[in-house]
Amino acid sequence: MSNKQRKNLTPTQQEYQDFAQERELKRPVLKNCVIAFLVGGIICTIGQAFQYFYMTQFGFSQIQASNPTVASLIIIAVLLTGLGVYDHIAQWAGAGTAVPVTGFANSIASSAIEHRSEGFVLGVGGNMFKLAGSVIVFGVFAAFVVALIKLTIQALGGM
């Protein structure tokens, strides 16, 4: 609380603010950052291991191996979410589990599980896409803008 806001408080309110501030838990920010960094790195390393596996075992190029790698990470994240494991990992690791693919898969699966009692269409489908809708719309719009830029550059280059 800023000093200006603190001046407007009564002495009893100021005393309570001091009392509450003394008992507030101090967050270990550096420790949380290190854990998030390590867990995010582990998730990315697992992704790299999958990509390497697909490249060596199936003869895929690096680009060809990227799609099954992403699909594998999504499947693992959804399975761990359904089993309740991913939430425990996220509780401990914080932002480290928000690596885009696995974090997004977890959020979609969590909302689907949470609303399954409302039915498949209105419960699971409707609430699942409340979160995914904005991401999908942004992705489609961004792809459209990038395609327009590319076509404009190609048209200007051909002149």
Is residue 64 in some structural domain?
no
Is residue 2 in some structural domain?
no
Res. 53: pLDDT tops 90: yes
Is residue 24 in some structural domain?
yes
Res. 11: pLDDT tops 90: no
Is residue 30 in some structural domain?
yes
**pLDDT for the residue numbered 135:** 75
Is residue 1 in some structural domain?
no
Residue 70 is encoded by which pair of tokens? 């992403």
- Mean pLDDT over residues 97-124, rounded? 80
Half-sphere CA count of 8, side-chain side, radius 13 A: 4
Residues 32, 96: Cα–Cα separation, whole Å: 9
Domain count, the chain: 1
Under 8 Å between Cβ of 135 and 104: yes
Instruction: Note down the domain range covering 127.
Output: 7-59+69-158
Non-local (6+) Cβ contacts of 23 within 8 A are none
Is residue 26 in some structural domain?
yes
